[in-house]
Chain A
Amino acid sequence: MDIFVAQAQGRVPVTVFRIRGPITSNVELEQQARAAYDAGARNILLDLSEVPYIATYGLRALHYIYTLLRTSAPEESDAAVHAGISAGTFTSPHLKLLKPSAHALEALKVAGYDMFLEIHRDYDKAIASF
């Protein structure tokens, strides 16, 4: 798995991780996310267009990044997140996904990750959504 990091500017600065190869380990992705966070990144878009599939390690990494970027704002409290996921009104405002492959999307849906992570098909719209 290779990770290419770039910066984009929408309404807020967005750090884009373009990932190439299957996500079968959580370590590298978590480390890169932590480094970006420590450098000031608060919004991350994961471009999954070159990821053939995501193993459970990948799901672990996604949850790690989701938790890393989660703030203490009232709309991100445990209660608000649970109510929002149940009602289909909550997705993370800080972590979003771009163009997952069919296999990757299946893994995300089976594990319910599409309930709290927005999935975009268009790069510009994804950046603008932050």
Chain B
Amino acid sequence: MTTTKLLLPSEQLEALLRQVPLFAELPLDEIHRLAASMRLLTYPVGTLLFIEGDAGDRLFVILEGSIAIIKSLGTPDERLVNVRGQGEFIGEMSLLTGDGRRTASARTAAPTRLLELTRDDFEALMASRPALAHQMLRVQSRRLRDAHDHTIRDLHEKNERLARAYAELQQAQAQIIAQETLRRELRLARDIQQRMLPQRLPNLPGYTLGARMIPAQEVGGDFYDLFELGGGRLGVVVGDVCGKGVPAALYMALTSSLLRAEAGRSASPEQALRALNRHLGSRGADGLFVTVIYGVLDPVARTFSYVRAGHEYPLAWAADGTPIPVPSGRAIPVGLFPEPILESATLTLPPGATLLLFSDGVTESRGVDHALLGHERLRELAYGSHASSAEALCDELLATLAAHQGAAPQADDITLVALRAR
């Protein structure tokens, strides 16, 4: 900070004093007296002249430049009260108030030249020139009125800001409520969807059964079903609606219900799936389709007769881990064409054999390095498993999937259905 205090020739100082409205009417002898006692100060921009709360014993008259009057300087409540310019005076409050403290801070807003008047000289001047005191009182009154108006305006602005903040708060609260409602409804949808899956697997003598479905989102497009058919037979379904979320879940619910109804009255799995395709086609679900494998396990004949509609091929293996050949025919998902190409086949499951149906969420499970689990790895895991039951096999595979996935997000629904012949 550069401060220059100059003692100018009295003629020059008198000329400057004449330019100040407050002193313009003073007689020559008073001007002489003032010129003898006042000092000329020069400050660069940004100079802090005094700080609110400090003791003040002098008044300044601005000859040139401008000074910002600031309340609560350096605090979150800092506020510019006013900017005083040429011909105005500052610092008079501490000379007028009883405690002599600065009521605001002052900082130069431009290179500024000031005249400095001490408390003693100020009081002497006021005593000798009541008209000057009167004029000063008028200025003070105007400043008080301005300050009052400013305070009112400030209050209005604060009220408006408060009202806006309150409205925003209400809006945010409404959004939070809507999001919470949506979350609650999704949780409810998930519960409903989970309840659509078999709550208890059928008891099939000579077999252990296991099934797991882990949706990637609150609700998913995968589903499975195991239901008793006549003659001790068991219907087994795994399906995957393309997509995730609520649309896929609704389509999944529709597909699952229709297929179970058709399974009960169809002569073969293929007939049931063709009927399902007609139902879905007639409902015209835009862009949605479903891959399905539906089979009938005959525990007496030890066969699994199935139809596949664009779904993953099943895996089957003997007790010693030897793969049981599975036809690799071609088939198209249900819902794509009016008459889909389907693949029907029958597998024989000797004692100790295991059958695994799964969705592509298993083989497409991705690790943090984006590597897919893949079909080859799944076959290795399945054929090499020593799990004691179908359910244990599902849990073992899920644990391996979780380890493979690590911290990576689950990309797709994961479904496993296993049957093991005793």
CB-based closest 9 A-B pairs = A112-B332, A111-B310, A56-B242, A60-B242, A82-B339, A78-B338, A112-B310, A112-B330, A112-B331
A28 within 8 A of B: no
Count residues of A near B (Cβ-Cβ below 8 Å). Answer: 28
Q: Would you give the shortest CB distance from A98 to chain B, in whole angstroms?
A: 21
Min Cβ gap B322→A in Å is: 23
**What 5 new A-B contacts, CB under 8 Å, besides A60-B243, A78-B338, A116-B332?**
A26-B242, A60-B288, A63-B289, A85-B341, A115-B341
Q: Is A19 an interface residue (CB 8 A)?
A: no
Assembly CA distance A53 to B51 (angstroms): 70
- Which one of B221, B287, B311, B337 contacts A64 once the chains associate, using CB atoms below 8 Å? B287
With A63-B336, A112-B331, A115-B330 given, is the CB distance from A56 to B341 under 8 Å?
Answer: no
B372 contact from A53, A59, A78, Cβ within 8 A: A53
User: Does B270 lie at the interface of the complex (its beta carbon under 8 Å from any beta carbon of A)?
Assistant: no
CB distance from A111 to the nearest CB of B (A): 4
28 CB-based A-B contacts, threshold 8 Å: A22-B370, A26-B242, A26-B287, A52-B372, A53-B372, A55-B360, A55-B412, A56-B240, A56-B243, A56-B291, A60-B288, A63-B287, A64-B287, A78-B339, A82-B337, A85-B332, A85-B337, A86-B341, A106-B375, A109-B330, A110-B311, A111-B291, A111-B332, A112-B331, A113-B332, A114-B330, A115-B332, A116-B332
Report B-chain residues with C-beta under 8 Å of the C-beta of A86: 341
Q: Mark A76-89, 1 if CB is under 8 A from B, else 0.
A: 00100110011000
A24 contacts B411, C-beta separation under 8 Å: yes
Considering the complex, which residues of chain A in the window 108-124 have a beta carbon less than 8 Å from any beta carbon of chain B? 109-116
Give the most central of A53, A63, A111: most B CB within 10 Å: A111
Query: Does any Cβ of B come within 8 Å of A103's Cβ?
Result: yes
B328's nearest neighbour on chain A, judged by CB, is A109
Contacts of B338 in A (CB 8 A): 78, 82
How far, in whole Å, are A117 and B240 apart by their CA atoms in the complex?
A: 21
Question: B360: which A residues are within 8 A, CB to CB?
Answer: 55-56, 107, 110
Q: Is the CB of B411 within 8 A of A55?
A: yes
**Chain B residues, Cβ within 8 Å of A78:** 337-339
Chain B residue numbers with a CB within 8 Å of A24 are 411
Within 8 A of A (CB), among B350-409: 360, 364, 370, 372, 374-375
Please name the residue on chain A nearest to B341 by beta carbon.
A85
For A111, list chain B residues within 8 Å (CB): 291, 310, 332-333
Measured CA separation A22–B370 after assembly (Å): 10
Q: How far is the CA of A9 from the CA of B120 in the complex (A)?
A: 98
- Where the two chains meet, the residues of B that have a C-beta atom closer than 8 Å to any C-beta of A are 221, 240, 242-243, 287-289, 291, 310-313, 330-333, 336-339, 341, 360, 364, 370, 372, 374-375, 411-412
- Taking chain A's interface residues, is the majority helix, strand, or loop, or is none over half, making it mixed? helix
The residue in chain B whose Cβ has the minimal distance to the Cβ of A81 is: B337
A43-65 interface (Cβ within 8 A of B): 52-53, 55-57, 59-60, 63-64
Nearest A-chain residue to B375, judged by Cβ? A106
Residue from the set A26, A109, A110 with the largest chain B CB neighbour count within 10 Å: A110
List residues of A (13-69) whose CB comes within 8 Å of B's CBs: 22, 24, 26, 52-53, 55-57, 59-60, 63-64
> In the complex, what distance in Å separates the CA atom of A4 from the CA atom of B383?
42
User: Which of B287, B339, B341 meets A112, CB within 8 Å?
Assistant: B341
Alpha-carbon distance between A103 and B373 when the two chains are bound, in angstroms: 11
On whether the beta carbons of A60 and B287 are closer than 8 Å, the reply is yes
- In contact, A110 and B313 (Cβ under 8 angstroms): yes
* Given A63-B336, A111-B332, CB of A57 within 8 Å of CB of B372: no
* CB-based nearest B residue for A111: B310
CB contacts (< 8 Å) of A113 on chain B: these are 332
Which chain B residue lies CB-closest to A78?
B338
- With a cutoff of 8 Å between Cβ atoms, the chain B residues found around residue A112 in the complex are 310, 330-333, 341
Contact of A57 with B287 at beta-carbon distance under 8 Å, contacts A86-B341, A110-B311, A112-B330 already known: no
Give chain B residues whose Cβ lies under 8 Å from the Cβ of A59: 242, 333
Q: Kindly provide the distance from the CB of B31 to the nearest chain A CB, expressed in whole angstroms.
A: 82
> Which residue of chain A is the closest to B329 with respect to CB atoms?
A112
Q: CA A24 – CA B244 in complex, angstroms?
A: 11
Residue of A nearest to B330 (CB): A112
Chain A, residue nearest B339 (CB) = A82
B242 touches A57 (CB 8 A): yes
User: A74 CA to B38 CA in the complex, in Å?
Assistant: 107
CB of B206 to closest CB in A, whole Å: 31
Residues in A whose Cβ lies below 8 Å from that of B331: 112
**Chain A residues closer than 8 Å to B311, beta-carbon distance:** 110
Tell which of B243, B336, B341, B370 touches A57, judged by Cβ atoms closer than 8 Å. Answer: B243
Q: CB within 8 A of B310: which of A26, A53, A81, A110? A: A110
